[in-house]
Homo-oligomer: A and B are copies of this chain.
């Protein structure tokens, strides 16, 4: 009864139905954010009774009972779909007796791969979802696609005024426009309790984000507790016990993220942004000089010492084993050359290497060595655009993250013309507060709006919302991120042509924001109004 082919193409009559629905049947269309690539829904609706509702695997599925990612997702989504449900007591509490006793089951089939351990950069997130009387058929190529489909199904279910649950007859064929849809959290400027990270991961899954970019250390503090170099956090964290991420904390975050189909990309930004590293690792940073004498202050990592690369190799070897994903963010942004310039040993090294007075060459030399270390560890490196801008030998680079303001699409074009992959972050810096009703500025972005070949455009692998930590911690993280980040999420997932109108998107986003509140996410208001269930977590 359930259709089989995930890749079944959109047919003419699907388009026709979609147009009808977009015009007349807004309720169900309202219900999903980000908007599926093709979405047909009918006014025919089916009541759902939590006591007769089941998730199940279809016989031909490659993933079956015992697949931890899906087994856990069934449990999680049951609660999300039926937020008011509490099992009826046998002693006769029939407050929740629901008139509808017809069973409904969501039948899942994963076509291609057996229950994978971790999502990868190539994992398919494509799924087909077809809701009809008594059942929903969810087909996907991977468990990660099945997770996206479950999220969509959960958003299709709604309650009427009496609290009864319904889902409309629907047919959805969906896949992301971009493979990399990330959120950066910065745990160096402020320490974020693990619980705040996990809650953000939950909210990310609701908007179908799939990458958590963990900017874990920076100048201000080094909360990552290294097995190899424990002094880095014991001396470089805000507090050596309470403001660190232990190995077990990191494993917990990675494992929690994987259950949501989210990859964790660690960033150990260098050679700049490393002041806190110097507290726990002697001779790592460059001593700055004033009038020929070491001033007692330190600059970027010292690129002239062999010991630097030994240290970085050991640290990165550990980090690579801790983070199972293939991407490793090396940073490389905002390197201040003045300290290097002041240091006579660095200058002598420059002469020896033939760099003259060009410190960009020194930076490129350092980064190339770090990239090589990373490549040898079988990881793909991501760097901030500075590295691309300053580097003449770009062949070692893989993925460039564009973050500067101004004509960021000009930069995207330069990077793809050089044959490198791009992640776009510039338009999505959400750390600075702004009026939420200006969410459209995050929505009205199209990363491919530059002139280039199809092949070049395929190099734009996605985008990222950055929530830098100078003025953000667990007190304001959620309202600053949500629902503004969801605007970016739709841009990165949905078909651009179907989601180019801010006016059409607004009612769906308002509806989605209310869903976030219902799920306990502190998503701030977009404008005047109300939700049926206001945020109660005060």
Chain A residues proximal to chain B, CB less than 8 Å: 189-191, 193, 195-196, 199, 220-221, 238-239, 242-243, 432-437, 469-479, 517, 522-530, 532, 534-538
Contact = CB atoms under 8 A, between A and B. Distances in A.
A525 B478 contact: no
Contact of A193 (B193, B196, B474, B534): B534
Given A436-B471, A478-B475, A525-B472, A193 B536 contact: yes
A475 B518 CA distance: 12
Q: Which of A195, A470, A472, A534 has the most CB of B within 10 A?
A: A534
B529 A190 contact: yes
Contacts of A474: 534-536, 538
A238 B534 CA distance: 11
Contact of A475 (B239, B435, B522): B522
Contact of A433 (B433, B472, B527): B433
8 contacts: A190-B525, A190-B528, A193-B536, A470-B528, A474-B534, A474-B536, A474-B538, A478-B538
A472 B526 CA distance: 9
Q: Is the interface of A mostly helix, strand, loop or mixed?
A: loop
Given A190-B525, A190-B529, 7 more contacts: A189-B528, A220-B528, A433-B435, A437-B471, A471-B526, A472-B524, A476-B479
A475 B471 contact: no
Contacts of A193: 534-536, 538
B238 A470 contact: no
Nearest to A238: B530
A196 B538 contact: yes
A239 B475 CA distance: 29
Contact of A238 (B242, B435, B529): B529
Nearest to A517: B475
Contacts of A471: 435-437, 524-527
Contacts of A195: 536, 538
Contacts of A436: 433, 471
Contacts of A538: 193, 195-196, 199, 474, 477-478
Pairs of residues from A and B, 3 with the lowest C-beta to C-beta distance, nearest first: A433-B433, A476-B479, A238-B530
B475 A527 contact: no
